[in-house]
A and B are shown apart, each in its own frame.
Chain A
Amino acid sequence: MIARWLSLRAGDWAPYALLPLLVLATLPVMSFSTWLTLTVAGFAMGMMLFLMAAGLTLIFGLMQVFTFAHGAFITLGAYLAVSVFGALAGWSSATSWALNLAVLAAALAVALLASGAAGYVFERLIIRRVYGAHLRQILITMGGLIIAEQLVVAIWGANPLPLPKPASFQGSLIIAGAAIEKYRLIAVVLGLAVYAGLHLLLNRTRVGLLVRAGVENIEMVEALGYRIRRLFIGVFVTGTALAGIGGVMWGLYQELVTRSIGSEMTILIFIILIIGGLGSIGGCFTAAILVGLVTNYVGFLAPKLALGSTILLMMLVLLWRPRGLFPVGAG
Chain B
Amino acid sequence: MTNDILLELAGVHTHIGRYHILHGVDLAVRRGRLTMLLGRNGAGKTTTLRTIMGLWRRSAGEIRFDGAPIGALATPDIARLGIAYVPENMGIFAELTVRENLLLATGPEGFDEARLEAVLALFPALREKWNNPAGSLSGGQKQMLAISRAIIEERRLLIVDEPTKGLAPAVIQLLIDAFLRLKSTATTILLVEQNFHMARSVGDDVAVMDDGRIVHTGSMAALAADEALQQHLLGLSLASHQ
Contact = CB atoms under 8 A, between A and B. Distances in A.
Contacts of B53: 223
Interface stretch (A29-37, A206-214, A284-292): A206-214
A220 B75 CA distance: 10
A226 B76 contact: yes
A224 interface: yes
B95 A328 contact: yes
Q: How many A residues touch the partner, as a band?
A: 20 to 34
Contacts of B87: 220, 223
A66 to B, nearest CB: 22
A226 B106 CA distance: 11
Interface in B35-72: 53, 55
Given A7-B133, A7-B136, A224 B105 contact: yes
B120 interface: no
Q: How many B residues touch the partner, as a band?
A: 20 to 34
Contact of A3 (B91, B93, B94, B132): B132
A209 B94 contact: no
Contacts of A228: 76
Contacts of B85: 223
Nearest to B98: A3
Contact of B135 (A2, A219, A227, A331): A331
B100 interface: yes
Nearest to A219: B55
B103 interface: yes
Contacts of A221: 104
Nearest to A220: B91
A7 B132 contact: yes
B79 A329 contact: no
Contact of A331 (B74, B130, B134, B149): B134
Contacts of A4: 97, 131-133
A222 B76 contact: yes
Nearest to B159: A223
Contacts of B91: 217, 219-220, 223
A330 B95 CA distance: 8
A181 interface: no
A4 B136 CA distance: 9
22 contacts: A2-B131, A3-B130, A3-B131, A4-B97, A4-B133, A209-B103, A209-B104, A212-B93, A213-B93, A213-B96, A216-B94, A216-B96, A217-B91, A222-B74, A222-B76, A223-B75, A223-B87, A227-B74, A227-B76, A328-B95, A329-B93, A331-B133
Interface of B: 53, 55, 74-76, 79-80, 85, 87, 91, 93-97, 100, 103-105, 108, 130-136, 149
Interface of A: 1-4, 7, 206, 209-210, 212-213, 215-217, 219-228, 328-331
Given A220-B93, A330-B135, 7 more contacts: A213-B104, A217-B93, A224-B105, A225-B80, A329-B94, A331-B133, A331-B136
